[in-house]
Amino acid sequence: MPEMNTSSLPDLIFTILFFFMMVTTMREVTLKVKFDKPVGTQLEKLARKSCTSFIYIGQPTDNLKAQFGSGHRIQLNDKFAEPNEVYDYVVSERGELAEVDKPFFTVSIKSDHHTPMGIITDTKQVLRKAYALKIMYSANRPRE
């Protein structure tokens, strides 16, 4: 019985590897808070995601409740923060953008629909001090 020709096998493997590299997205942030986004009626899709920084507000996930309690917390990137730490986060995020993208800098707040308005208001006050005036709130479309 003749041997099987395996000369094209490396090409096939690299093609499959390249395919998975192109279609897979890497998760940028590991969520430490759980949130159920509120439902909104007048929603717009985020235009320039590269110019957007995300602030997550919600209760810690079940595996972190023992360590951080069950109150609502702010998550910036991969760590919990207090409202006054949002200023430094926004300044550093804006500083990483190119000069042409800085006018399009937007902060998106992803919060649980049961989050008290006090923590959101505190966050908005710090954003105002950091001169981050373009704020978006993430929401889901209503189910029909």
Burial (CB count within 10 angstroms: exposed 0-12, middle 13-18, buried 19+), residue 132: buried
Secondary structure letter of residue 56 according to DSSP: E
Q: Per residue in 20-48, pLDDT tens? A: 888 887 667 778 888 788 888 888 887 77
Secondary structure letter of residue 2 according to DSSP: P
Q: Residue 108's beta-bridge partner residues? A: 54, 136
* Three-state secondary-structure class, residue 29: coil
Q: Per residue in 83-122, pLDDT tens? A: 889 999 999 999 999 999 999 999 999 998 888 999 999 9
Average pLDDT rounded to a whole number, residues 8-14: 89
In this prediction the pTM is 0.76
Averaged confidence pLDDT in the chain: 87
